[in-house]
Structure 1
Amino acid sequence: MMKCIHTSVINGEIYAPASKSYTIRALAGALLAEGYSQIVNPAICDDTKVAIGIIENLGAEVEHSLNSIKVKGGLRIKNNILNCGESALCVRLFSAMAPLFNDGIKLEGCGTLLKRDFSDVVQSLAGFGIECSSNQGRLPLTIRGSYHKNEIKIDCSVSSQFLSGLLFTLPKLNSDTNVIVTNLQSKPYIDLTLEILGYFGIKIYHDEFRIFKIQGNQKYLPTNIIVEGDWSNAAFILVSGAVAGSVKVHGLNIDSNQGDRKILEVLDKSGALITIDKDFIQVSKNKLDAFKYNATDTPDLFPPLVGLAVNCKGISEISGVNRLRNKESNRLDALISEFTKLGINIYFSNNTLFVEGGDIKGCEVNSHKDHRIAMALVIAGLNSEEQIKINDSEFVSKSYPEFFNDLKKIGGQIDE
């Protein structure tokens, strides 16, 4: 599907979409808790629908109602083939849970997920003595065996998602486990995992995120969780206000463990006008200057930050590009390719992406079937000289199905 983005003036207010990462973790916890858990304000997108299908296959009973999901937890495997869609989080989270079952578990996927490398999962499971066959590190993964070792060392330089999976899984074992972590990336997502585990009564101790001491025989307690707004997706809306007018966003927790709330710091550095109220966050256009930001722990901020940088005076520097290659697309190549088409001087050197602000020309671009690339290109289109046509724009449904509708509500000029 192609969307055409025209020069727009942003003015209005919306509610932030619910957090995808929060929802999927809450679903995983609800699966492991015997009894009924309620997830209020869940994110409903492609990835969370996949997660619901997975927990149902592993034994959960799920009921949908207006603005909530009720989950009756319990591990009673119904289908040992788990379709992870295009969700890497589901692959890493539920591959860690697979050894809880006596039968082998097979994890499959589709689309861009089939190109992604999960060698970190294969190697980490091998450290536990668990067999994990793969297609040269790619899906499908077939996992057989159970946890026996009481101490394991894992490398989290690629992703922290498998560590999150272990933190959900290991409290279910009969014995205690120590997990020694090296090269931890995206630490805020581990904070988020620990927060949600706490809601289910699970206690995990760690030494500055280097050694996690996990007591066995813990019991997941059913609970009610209210899912907070998604900073990763709201970042695009906040940037739209900074570059093209003014926007109020409701439903964001300023004290959230979501690392992508750092978008506010960057907007402030660049000169955007920011108002933080107990009920909303408002971001308005102002003279914008180039900024520097290390996105190693918050790689999902790269696309909205590029959308911001093209509207700033000077050359912005965003470091941590090594985190971009194993995403829905090779995001580094995709950002450089598509924003170059828009007439932007964008390049990388020494793990840093350099983006020079300038006039944005209209042309036809491609999302690379990546939801965040699509949204970044939309933000660029708000100030383009002529319309920008974005191919494969429908992939925003992976995390934010209402993105185009929300943007239209606040003044975005979008048509097909």
Structure 2
Amino acid sequence: MDITLHQSALSNQSSPIVITGSKSESNRLLLLQALFPNLNITNLSHSDDSEVMQRALQSDLKTIDVHHAGTAMRFLTAYYAVQIGKEITLTGSSRMQERPIEILVDALKDLGADMGYLGKKGYPPLRIKGKILSKSEVVLKADVSSQYISALLLIAPKLQNGLKLILEGNITSKPYINMTLSLLNQIGIETSFEGQVIQVQHQDEINNQTIVVESDWSSASYFYSLAALSPIGTTITLVSFNEQSIQGDTVLKEIYKDFGVNSIFKDGRLTLQKINEPLKTHFECHLVNAPDIAQTIAVTSFGLGLSCELTGLHTLKIKETDRLQALKTELEKLGGTVHISNDSLKLEVCNTITKAVSIDTYNDHRMAMAFAPLCLKTDIVINDFEVVSKSYPSFWDDLKTLGIKVSQ
């Protein structure tokens, strides 16, 4: 099914947008709660991914299907490896069965895990039999996906002697590793991260406590884009954001200054204010630590008629889709000229936008939401619009509250 966003201007905002809790924080905390049941969580993400995590962690089924949820696949692979005596099959969608997991599986086997592949080597589905992992030191490639690292760190407190994780190569998405360590520290688990070595101490129990999940910065990116594409003076207010956040995508507040958007924090609210037009015609950004906002930035640049060069994007090829190829295809439908490599995207200046284009979303929530702000410039059709439920189920309703005209 598709949805049409009719060319609109934002209306005066009557109430702030309440974005669901961070999917990244929620999924980490849900796994920690499964390991330490006296941990309570509030403001959990309403995303499909987090609901998949919750259902899986509460399930007694022999086969666990995570569908398109990549984070759940990585985290649950590690979780079930330490569930003593439990044997399960962990599987996912056809796209999930094309997303590599061998680096994580090899690391878990090096720690003593009992698991294997039920199909193509290196890819789901997996057979996992939980057991005590007696070893406490492992080496892992650090330049593929930080989720492999976080998966190991989350189960580390339950290993008999904790974990010493030695990272090889350039570390990808380091803020997401720091997020995992910060949440471990918040619940009272000792960690250290020096150079290429991360250590997590063993811990049997934690104190009773409640953690409040901050709203999702990745989801906030689409409102930064809306603000950037709007006239000077436009403001958008979002709820439950912290200036000193542990989420990596907080770099948005610095990046979008170049697009003329200021970030104002007050009493847990974040107000985005368009204060000037972009001060330069070419935008460059290295996004190895925040790859999930690459689509948003590319579309913002296109909508403003700017050229851009985004680098550090090697992980985008193994997401819900090959996001680099998908961006190239869809931006070129709109009239853009895009060059991609294994880890970069270059967009040339384009001053006209092809009208009423249908954007394909490739089972990727971020494709749908990243292209939506272009409705401030032209009518645009989003195919398979319900894919946003993966991370932000109320996205289209929230756009309507800002005055954007939507028809199905």
- The two structures have a TM-score, normalised by structure 1, of 0.89
* Structure 2 CA distance for aligned equivalents of residues 17 and 280 of structure 1: 14
CA distance in 1, matches of 2:262, 2:198: 41
Partner Cα distance (1:156, 1:217) in 2: 25
Question: 1:349 Cα shift?
Answer: 4.4
1:235–1:263: 8 Å Cα contact kept in structure 2? yes
The match for 1:139 among 119, 124, 128 is 124
AA matched with 2:70: A
Q: Deviations over 1:73-124 (max 9, x none)?
A: xxxxx33432222111111112112221223332111253233222222222
- Identify unmatched segments of 5+ residues in structure 2: none
CA contact (8 A) 1:33 1:200 kept: no
User: Deviation per CA, 1:222-269, whole angstroms, max 9, x where unpaired?
Assistant: 421111010001110121111124222222112111111111111102
Equivalent in the alignment of 2:96: 113
Q: Distance in 1 between matches of 2:94 and 2:5?
A: 26
Q: Is the 8 A contact 1:309 1:357 kept in 2?
A: no
Q: CA deviation at 1:285?
A: 6.4
Cα distance in structure 1, aligned partners of 2:67 and 2:90: 10
Count the aligned residue pairs.
392
What aligned pairs does 1:198-347 form with structure 2 within 5 A after superposition?
Answer: 198-208=185-195, 210-245=196-231, 246=234, 247-278=236-267, 279-284=269-274, 286-288=276-278, 289=280, 290-347=282-339
Q: Deviations over 1:120-143 (max 9, x none)?
A: 222222332434322322221112
Alignment partner of 1:373: what SS? helix
Q: CA–CA distance in 1 between the matches of 2:351 and 2:285?
A: 19
Local SS of the residue matching 2:5:
strand
Deviation at 1:34, TM superposition (A): 3.8
The alignment status of 1:361 with 2:354, answered yes or no, reads: yes
Equivalent in the alignment of 2:65: 83
Query: What SS is found at the alignment partner of 2:165?
Result: strand
Distance 2:317 2:27 in 1: 23
RMSD: 1.9
Identity score, percent: 29
Structure 1 range deviating more: 24-33 or 335-344 = 24-33
Residues 163-193 of structure 1 show CA distances to partners (whole Å, capped at 9, x for unaligned) of 2121121211222431111232111111111
The residue correspondences of 1:18-33 to structure 2 (distance < 5 A) are 18-33=21-36
Report what 1:65 is aligned to: none
Instruction: State whether structure 2 residue 89 is matched by structure 1 residue 95.
Output: no
TM-score by length of 2: 0.90
Q: Are 1:373 and 2:367 matched, yes or no?
A: yes
Residue 204 of structure 1: how far off its partner (Å): 1.4
Letter of the 1:199 counterpart? Q
**Quick check: 210-219 or 400-409, which moved more?**
210-219
Instruction: Report deviation, 1:146.
Output: 4.2
C-alpha separation between the residues in 1 aligned to 2:299 and 2:7? 14
Deviations 1:5-33 (A, max 9, x none): 12121242412321111111111111111
SS in 1 for 2:76: helix
Question: Judging changes above 3 Å, is the alpha-carbon distance between structure 1 residues 181 and 244 closer, same or farther for their aligned structure 2 residues?
Answer: same
Name the counterpart of 1:69: none
TM-superposed CA distance for 1:396, in Å, is 0.5
Shifted more, 111-120 versus 291-300: the winner is 111-120
Q: Distance in 2 between matches of 1:342 and 1:234?
A: 24
Structure-2 separation of matches of 1:164 and 1:381: 37
**Farther off after superposition, 100-109 or 86-95:** 100-109
Asked if 1:192 corresponds to 2:179, the answer is: yes
| CA apart distance, 1:50 | 0.5
Equivalent residue number for residue 178 of structure 1: 164
Q: Secondary structure at the match of 2:125?
A: strand
Alignment deviations for residues 262-318 of structure 1 (CA, whole Å, 9 cap, x no partner): 111111023334444343222326322432111111110111111211133431111
Distance apart, 1:157 and its partner CA: 1.5
Residue 159 of structure 1: which of 141, 145, 163 is its match?
145
Residue 218 and residue 411 in structure 1: after superposition, are their counterparts in 2 closer, same or farther (change >3 A)? Answer: same
